[in-house]
Amino acid sequence: RAARFMGSYQEFKAHCRDLPGLVKAQVALWADVPLYGFHDDDFSTRLQALNELRSEGIPCVFTFGGEVQEPQAPPMPQKLDHFAKESIAILSLALGFRKLAPWHWNRFIVPLERGPQGILAGHAVLGVQKPGAHGVITPKAAREALKRRKIETLTAFKLPELGGPSQEQRKFLEMRDKQWQAFCQHLQMQGRVPAMGPNCDQEEKRRQMMEWQQFV
């Protein structure tokens, strides 16, 4: 059974306290939620929810965006976006969340737009975190903890500007595709195939990534 509530998590708990059958959450999902948000009020609301979850010891699943390799495209280093990096820093450095499972690149992404090298995607990275033993963390305390680690400012979230590729991007993509086809032919002449997909040999994939960087 599911329900929708417009308000903060604290307000939800207060409003639903006397509802029959309400059970304690087993896990909380934060799907591509930048922890700072658009402004300081968003940051305060999100910290309030995380403090509530900490008080009950509820683990959280987080996903964030990034740039990932396009299927059948040349190898590339996958990258977290800036808001993902800041959010992970807030969790570990300011809030003391601990990893229940390592951060890893998600196989099930939501493609948004072409990036400089690959695809800008939602749900690109996924991690499972457990609240630490800290007490209630205020926005001021969180900022001070980040400043001690040389993170002076937090960036207001901006929605990605989606649109078709520019003429320069199209030319770059055409050139990259031709280079990749030539690289694949180079591998085939050696009796090898491009290492792609989740089941490929990871050592061969790393080797091909280095060879690709030298090839172009």
Residues 73 and 132 sit within 8 Å (Cβ to Cβ): no
3-state secondary structure labels for all residues of 98-116? EEEEEEEECCCCEEEEECC
Alpha carbon distance 64, 109 (integer Å) = 10
Mean pLDDT, residues 32-51 taken together: 92
Q: What is the mean pLDDT of the chain?
A: 85
Q: What is the mean pLDDT of residues 55-83?
A: 87
List the single range of 53-62, 146-155, 175-184 with lowest mean pLDDT.
175-184
Q: Which of 126, 155, 65, 58 is nearest to 97 (CA)?
A: 58
DSSP letters along 127-169, please? Answer: EEEE--S--PPPHHHHHHHHHHTT----PPP------PPPHHH
Phi, psi of 30 (to 5 degrees): -115, 95
- Between 106 and 71, the more confident residue is 106
> What phi-psi label fits residue 5: left (phi over 0), alpha (psi between -120 and 50 degrees) or beta?
beta
Nearest one of 43, 28, 216, 38 to 129, comparing CA atoms: 28
This prediction has a pTM of: 0.71
Mean pLDDT of 173-195: 84
Question: What does the pLDDT average to over 144-172?
Answer: 79
Task: Return all residues near 198 (Cβ < 8 A) that are at least 6 apart.
Answer: 107
pLDDT at 1: 58
Q: Determine the average pLDDT of the residues in 50-79.
A: 87
Say yes or no to pLDDT of 143 above 80: yes
> Which residues are within 8 A (CB) of 19 and not within 5 positions of it... i.e. 6 or more apart?
none
